[in-house]
Amino acid sequence: MRRLFFGLCTLSILAIAEAKESRPLDINPLNFSNRADCARDSQKPTRSVFFIADTLDVGKALLRAGDMLSRQDTFTTEGIKRYRFTLQSLSRLVAEKLLRGQLPLLNSKLPQYRDLMETCKDGCEEMDQLVSAAWAGKLQGERLNFPDSHLSCHEVKDFAALYPHLSQSKPTQETLKALGESMAVGSENLVECGIDNQGDLSVSFFQFDLRHLDEKQWNKVGFDFWSSFNIYYSWAFHFSQEARQMALNYHGLFRQVNLEELSFFFSNGCHSIARPECSKDFLNTNSLRELSRVSQDADLAKLQVFKPGPDHEHDDILRQDDGLGREDLGMDAHESATAWAKNFKDNMAKTRGFIRLKLSQSLTQLKFIRRGLEDRLLSDITAELEGLKGADKAKRAEAFTFCAELTSATDREISFIRPKLAAMTQYESIWNYSQSIHSEIEADLEWSLTQFAPQLLTLCEKLRDDKVWGEEDHPGPEAFSAWYQSFHFKKVLEATPREATASYLVLKDGQSGKVETFCMTALDCGKKIISNLIDLKISSDYASSLLSLDGQIKNISATTSMGERYACKMYDPWAQSKKAGFEFLKDMVLAGVSAATIVPIYVDVSLADKKVSSLQEIIKDGKVYYNPRFDRRAVQKTLIIDFGPLLGAPCAIVVSADARVRPQNYLAFEGITLQSCRDFERITVQAESPEQIGNAVRKLSGCFTCTISLASTATSAAMLNPVMRPFFYVIRGVVKLVGNLRSPEDIPRSWTVNPNAVARALKINGGEIPKSCVRKLSRGEECIRGTCASNIATSIGKYLKVIPDEISIVSGGLSLVTAGERTFSVETPRYNCAGHSFRIEDFKQVQP
């Protein structure tokens, strides 16, 4: 109704005087949400994203192009400005074409697209042709219909206090005041995009807001919008006429920019860019959030991706505690938003570079070893292993580490060895990528996985069974390869350079002719093969998630990890609500039962928190997904025999599957307790496959308890009284329900704050946000005294793009609005302000 009211409002400017005023920002309201609501919101598409683009490489290319053409110094800076302008303008163009139905959505409802998704996951010429046809209007398909919407673009210069929703669950008076103050200088922190409006040129950091969307409709199509936007944007950047026109004389160079690898989207809040899924790609990509808060190389090196050894990446999510689900994005650690974005993109570039290097090195080394040693390595290692009995201590230790590493590397999750070649080829994108670096990768892996590893593994197992090694042969951690140390000892000892005492395989530098020992012995070469297979697996896993091998811009779907936790069933936003309802229902049932029977035996059933105990890896359509496995104890059953009513003694026996259970939980009130409990644990080892060994612990507890207190007397009294007994349960049920529903983080709650309304409220109220305004502003409403003035203020902001300092009603259909030194005389025919109890004195407090 309110929206309709504003929509009907027509304002005509009668007079405008020269002046300077603060303008409202064309940005979306901020969504504050607690942990549960954040998890719930992660299932909805975002309307606001950050776009970060690395412009450094473009600058370098421009510098070289300028050098070739002997252009002036400004060629490069003007070029970067034009590049950023092209990115901004193209974003707006693509988004608005999609929102207004000028382009079809590229989703599963489009048969041509659906077919291509099966045959060219990593992109293909046919996909480019399809997008080209869609761009030219030659393709039918589902179209959006948001005629009034648009994409607003701002360059983020300083976070100031404009993003409190990223770190807080709920808006407070202080938050709102800081937000309002930041808005007062909003144009300095968030600069409207444009060719002349540019600051630091080394990185582009934009905020894109999709404005005026119908929320219900948007939630149905938003994810399709973003995936389509990504594809169209990428295509249009390289091939469209529009991009050519935007880039002017720079187009020949810009279209060669690897935009997909040099930029990424980052959702502004809990809503997601892509529908969260419990997959390796999704988890890995989103874990890049960590890069935002790391600013030192030493800290960066501590991240899992840089560790030499494998890890079960999903362990990170399994280990996550029940924090507020709000990651620190490290915004406060940087002097400006640009500095933050620069740090983030630098970290991203380092991470991607590291993965690329690791992948390329492992492929090169595998090839080098196979080429040089294919005909003799197996027999040489076999000879070394079979001759161990008479060998010296060093050789025995070397053989021990070789066999230990080979055995460990057969773990399915950390290498390709166990599932052999098939698993590697299932990573389609990385397989194609690897083949582009080395066409013979298949032969290298075939040899490593079907000959080298299985034959030597069998021999190692035989040696172990024969007890060839004794305790004295076990070397220290330093004797193992770095990946093994990292994986098993959780730290990597600094490698001391070994002097080459022998040369089994040498590496000759093509340029300098210098010869280096690559491996000293056959076993040394064998360990290098294992290390390279492990490196290949680790870098493949990360490469498929972090490099844009599919030709699309990567996105960090949300600013919090709640989406992943929800998708992997680590967190259920409805759990607390369900629990509250269940507890209440249970008390109501108990009330009913207690009214019907005098026998004080109760069977209590309560919901225990479901906990994911492991994530099972499943490869489907070339992607790795995780299937969560739960701790099976979902329901706890408790039997209580309360002797109070029968014997007059406030004692009870409780038998429960949960050792933590306390009898008082089931009685009405607590008192001083004498209690004896005993736990019995039955542990069974469940093993379905070697890598899924877990201990299932079943607990049983028994308690004998006597509670002596006024409350227990009351309880007993209550229990003896068939009228009072149900009454107590009802009271307790209501009290518990209220308590459970008050949970600040686990019952979904959200607040919407319109930053422009906050700015207006701050101005109108003399630089303060009154306490009385907090609730209104947190509902996204205005907080200006008088409905009429409030409506006028909103409309003024919307239509005239100014934040008014003062609004004066001159007559029924005419108002004077002061903003800075400008005075607007506005006609407001739809507002019959004279009919409202609006008083001009309401605004007097803003006068100095």
Partner 1 sequence: MKALFLLLVALPFASFAWESKVELSEGLEMRLKISCESEETFCTSLCQQSLSCLIEAGSCKNCIGANSFISHFYREVGRLFQSTDRVLSEEDAVTLFSSGSKFVYLEAQGPFNIYSGVGNIRTERHFESLCRGQFFSRPIVLAKLDRRSRVERAGHVICHGDFGAEIFELSHAGD
Instruction: List the Cα angle 619/620/622 in 5-degree steps.
Output: 85
Based on CB atoms, which residue is closest to partner 1, 361 or 636? 361
Size of the site for partner 1 (CB under 8 A): 51
The CB-of-313 to partner 1 minimum distance in angstroms stands at 22
**What six digits make up the tokens of 231?**
């594809």
User: Least Å distance between CB 251 and partner 1?
Assistant: 6
Rama region for 248: left / alpha / beta (φ>0; ψ in -120 to 50; rest) = left
In the numeric block, the tokens 């109890």 are attached to 837
Query: Shortest gap between Cβ of 153 and partner 1 (angstroms)?
Result: 22
Of the residues 2, 64, 393, 839, which one makes contact with partner 1 according to CB under 8 A: 64
**Residue pair 54/345 in contact by the 8 Å Cβ criterion:** yes
* Binding flag, residue 241, partner 1 (CB under 8 A): no
Closer CB to partner 1, 60 or 742, in the complex: 60
CB under 8 A: which stretch of 359-367, 525-533, 673-681, 787-795 binds partner 1? 359-367
Cα–Cα distance for residue pair 420/3, rounded to 1 Å: 61
69 binds partner 1 (CB under 8 A): yes
242 lies in the binding site for partner 1 (CB under 8 A)? no
At its nearest, how many Å lie between partner 1 and the CB of residue 141? 22
Stretch that binds partner 1, among 102-110, 121-129, 491-499, 824-832 (CB under 8 A): 121-129
Q: Are 168 and 175 in contact (CB under 8 A)?
A: yes
Residue 172 structure tokens: 């407070």
Pick from 10, 108, 439, 686: which binds partner 1 (CB under 8 A)?
A: 439
Query: In which residue are the tokens 């040369």 written?
Result: 503
Task: Give whichever of 257 and 807 is closer to partner 1, judged by the CB atom.
Answer: 257
Contact pattern from residue 127 through residue 156 relative to partner 1, giving x for each residue in contact according to CB under 8 A and a dash for the rest: -x----------------------------
Burial of 45 (0-12, 13-18, 19+ CB in 10 A): buried
Quick one: which of 61, 184, 318, 607 contacts partner 1 (CB under 8 A)? 61
Element containing residue 811 per DSSP (H, E): strand 806-811
Output phi, psi for 825, to 5 deg. Answer: -105, 115
Q: Which two tokens stand for residue 828?
A: 């407001």
When the beta carbons of 75 and 566 are compared against partner 1, the nearer one is 75
Q: Rule CB under 8 A: is residue 349 a binding residue for partner 1? A: yes
Residues in the chain: 848
Q: For residue 779, what are the β-bridge partners?
A: 752
Of 440 and 473, the one with the shorter C-beta distance to partner 1 is: 440
Name which of 65 and 708 has its Cβ closer to partner 1: 65
Looking at the Cβ atoms of 264 and 340, the one nearer to partner 1 is 264
Question: Using an 8 Å Cβ cutoff, are 606 and 656 in contact?
Answer: no
* Three-class SS state of 309: coil
- CB of 368: closest distance to partner 1 in angstroms? 6
Question: How far apart are CB 681 and partner 1 at their closest, in Å?
Answer: 53
Interface region with partner 1, contact rule CB under 8 A, candidates 7-15, 431-439, 676-684, 687-695 = 431-439
Minimum CB–partner distance for residue 252 and partner 1 (Å)? 4
Decide: is 440 part of the binding site for partner 1 (CB under 8 A): yes
Shortest Å, Cβ 324 to partner 1 = 34
- Draw the binding track, 366-405, toward partner 1 (x: CB under 8 A; -: no contact): -xx--x----------------------------------
Q: Establish if 74 lies at the interface with partner 1 (CB under 8 A).
A: no
User: Do 578 and 387 form a contact (C-beta atoms < 8 A)?
Assistant: no
Q: Between 439 and 845, name the residue whose CB sits nearer to partner 1.
A: 439
Provide, rounded to whole angstroms, the least separation between the CB of residue 235 and partner 1: 10
Query: Can residue 352 be called a binding residue for partner 1 (CB under 8 A)?
Result: yes
CA neighbours closer than 13 Å in the CB half-sphere of residue 415: 26
Residue 239 interacting with partner 1 (CB under 8 A): yes
| Among positions 360, 606, 665, 825, the unique one binding partner 1 when judged by CB under 8 A | 360
State the minimum distance, in angstroms, from the CB of residue 140 to partner 1: 25
Residue 338: CB minimum distance to partner 1, A? 20
Which helix (H) or strand (E) segment holds residue 630: the answer is strand 623-630
Please provide the DSSP assignment of 559-617 as one string: SSSHHHHHHTTS--TTHHHHHHHHHHHHHHHHHHHHHH----EEEEEEEPPP-EEEEEE
Bridge-based pairing of strands 651-656 and 635-642 is antiparallel
Distances (CA, A) of 132 to 175, 237, 238, 640: 47, 12, 11, 71
x/- map, 489-518, partner 1, by CB under 8 A: --------------------xxx-------
> Shortest Cβ distance from residue 573 to partner 1 (Å)?
37
Q: Are strands 48-54 and 635-642 parallel, antiparallel or unpaired?
A: unpaired
Candidates 68, 298, 685, 723: give the one binding partner 1 (CB under 8 A): 68
CA distance 227 to 210: 15
Does position 82 bind partner 1 by CB under 8 A?
no
- Kindly tell me which residue out of 2, 67, 322, 379 binds partner 1, with binding defined by CB under 8 A: 67
Q: 617: exposed, middle or buried (C-beta count within 10 Å: 0-12, 13-18, 19+)?
A: middle
**Angle (nearest 5°) at CA 662 between 661 and 666:** 105
Ranges within 515-574 binding partner 1 (CB under 8 A): 547, 551
Query: How far apart are the C-alpha atoms of 454 and 532, rounded to whole Å?
Result: 16
**DSSP SS3 for 647:** helix
Stretch of 119-127, 141-149, 646-654, 750-758 contacting partner 1, by CB under 8 A: 119-127
Residues 588-607 that bind partner 1 (CB under 8 A): none
Minimum CB distance to partner 1, residue 782 (Å): 46
Q: Does 238 bind partner 1 (CB under 8 A)?
A: yes
Q: Which of 12, 72, 74, 249 binds partner 1 (CB under 8 A)?
A: 249
* Interface stretch with partner 1, choices 28-36, 250-258, 395-403, 479-487 (CB under 8 A): 250-258
- Bridge partners of 16, per DSSP, are 824
- The verdict on 60 binding partner 1 (CB under 8 A) reads yes
| Nearest CB to partner 1, comparing residues 99 and 546 | 546
624 pairs with which residues across the strands?
A: 619
**CB atoms inside a 10 Å sphere around CB 225:** 23
Three-state DSSP class for residue 455: helix
Alpha carbon distance 42, 273 (integer Å): 9
- Put the strands of the sheet holding 806-811 in their side by side order: 12-16, 822-827, 814-819, 806-811
Distance linking the first and last C-alpha atoms of the chain: 36
Task: Quote the crossing angle between the two packed helices 377-386 and 453-465, to the nearest 10°.
Answer: 0
- Residue closer to partner 1 by CB (options 437, 810) is 437
- In the complex, least distance from residue 364 CB atom to partner 1, rounded to whole angstroms: 7
CA triplet 176, 178, 184: central angle to 5 degrees? 100
Contact footprint for partner 1 (CB under 8 A) = 54, 57-58, 60-65, 67-69, 123-125, 128, 238-239, 249-253, 255-262, 349, 352-353, 356, 360, 364, 367-368, 371, 433, 436-440, 509-511, 547, 551
